A and B are shown apart, each in its own frame.
Chain A
Amino acid sequence: QKEVEQDPGPLSVPEGAIVSLNCTYSNSAFQYFMWYRQYSRKGPELLMYTYSSGNKEDGRFTAQVDKSSKYISLFIRDSQPSDSATYLCAMKEGSNYQLIWGAGTKLIIKP
């Protein structure tokens, strides 16, 4: 079993819809949680960074962390065709330097 599980998709939704992306993990020591967006053949771009549990909002993006369920989510409101990309979750322990990644979910926003 992988430490971080993420549905690879693709997830296809119409423009303007609310998108929900999720990851589950098994390591209870993870404390830092990140969401990255990656366009085809490009490097990952940091979207959201959260420490421990709770919600964080930035524009159209909301990140949620539920450490009791070992479950994190990214919500995208008013989705746009330009949001079409692969979304990767990443997380790390407080005392560890490496990020552990999900495999990424491919998101397609249809005009």
Chain B
Amino acid sequence: DAGVTQSPTHLIKTRGQQVTLRCSPKSGHDTVSWYQQALGQGPQFIFQYYEEEERQRGNFPDRFSGHQFPNYSSELNVNALLLGDSALYLCASSAPVGTIYFGEGSWLTVV
């Protein structure tokens, strides 16, 4: 049983560019959340998707947007990249009632 899978694992972008990160949830999970983790800090909640709708959003600007597809996979899009967006982006999946599992993350470096 594959766990939460994320792609790409590493990427480098230039300030002002746009990036798309992808996530496939664990089998049987229908809820996907995205977190940003800066070095030396705990993850920060970006948003959660359920039934293809954004169910809850953290304190992130509108440059951060997402999507969930009918197969429950999800994308995180970040526009107008800033140097401060450099971080590990984590996808988490869960079932309606249950524990939350994380993928290995996508390392984004903005130069």
A residues contacting B by CB (< 8 A) are: 4, 6, 8, 34, 36, 41-46, 49, 88, 90, 96-104
Contacts and interface: CB of A to CB of B under 8 A. Distances in A.
- DSSP class of A's interface residues: helix, strand, loop or mixed? loop
Contacts of B107: 41
A98 B105 contact: no
Contact of A43 (B40, B58, B104): B104
A101 B107 CA distance: 19
Nearest to B101: A46
A103 B42 contact: yes
A100 to B, nearest CB: 8
Interface residues of B, number: 26
Nearest to B46: A98
Given A8-B40, A101-B42, A103-B40, A43 B102 contact: yes
Contacts of A36: 102
Contact of A97 (B4, B43, B55, B88): B55
A98 B42 contact: no
Interface in B74-111: 88, 90, 92, 99-105, 107
Contact of A104 (B33, B35, B42, B90): B42
B18 interface: no
